Amino acid sequence: MRLNTRLLLGSLVVAAVASVGIGYLISRNDGTGDSVTLSSGADAQPPGIGTNAAVQGTPLPVVDLETLEGDVLSTADLLGRPLVLNIWYSTCAPCKKELPALAQVQAEYGDRVRFIGVNPSDSPEVNESFARSRGVQYELLGDPDGAFTAAAGIVTAPVTLFVRPDGTIVRQTGELTAERLRDIIETELL
């Protein structure tokens, strides 16, 4: 019994010393093992939050999206009249907040402006039930492989693209109110 007690006590002492030593070494290392030298006049840029690409004045990317029924629909088929294309998903709080405003304004503009909701994250069932519960009656599409969001440089949501009938993106916004949405439609699309 005495031998086991000494062995246990010795093991605990060795483990404690090793832990302190390893902890000290880790605290002295910044994790990169690299050093950076800035050239004269340069400013360090810490990593930041991703931002969406500036797409105003560019053509709407031509990629395939998916209908709620699983059919393929090209973004080229969305053109021909003014288009409001909203990128959203169900766990995005600002998206949830703006969907009723989009639904309201779409009901006001009827067939003069085409509204499309593009969801890169949710299943077709969640996409539809979530949007419909907030009054959305316009077309809902999925971007399950992220082809559209990647081609358009979209990394944050919500994003709304305002597209002329010829496919030119004339405005890109974040979260919208009904008033702001109406204003952009009237000044940029109609």
Q: For 168-190, how does the pLDDT look when each residue is reduced to its tens digit (9 = 90+)?
A: 999 888 899 999 999 999 999 99
Q: What is the pTM of this model?
A: 0.72
In a domain, 28, yes or no: no
Chain segment 98-141, per-residue pLDDT in tens: 999 999 999 999 889 999 999 999 999 999 999 999 999 999 99
Instruction: Note whether residue 17 is domain-resident.
Output: no
- Residue 45 within a domain: no
pLDDT digits (tens, 9 = 90+) for 73-97: 999 999 999 999 999 999 999 999 9
Amino acid in the structure at residue 89:
Y
Number of domains in the chain: 1
Give yes or no for a contact between 118 and 136, defined as CB atoms under 8 angstroms apart. no
Torsion angle defined by CA atoms of residues 153, 156, 157 and 159, in that order, rounded to the nearest 10 degrees: -40
* Residue 43 resides in a domain: no
Sign of CA dihedral 59, 63, 67, 72: positive
> Is residue 107, in this structure, part of any structural domain at all?
yes
Question: Which has more pLDDT, 101 or 1?
Answer: 101
44 DSSP assignment = -
Identify the CATH number of the domain in which residue 175 sits: 3.40.30.10
The continuous run of DSSP H or E covering 28 comes out as helix 2-28
> Is the residue at 23 inside a domain?
no
**Domain boundaries, position 81:** 64-189
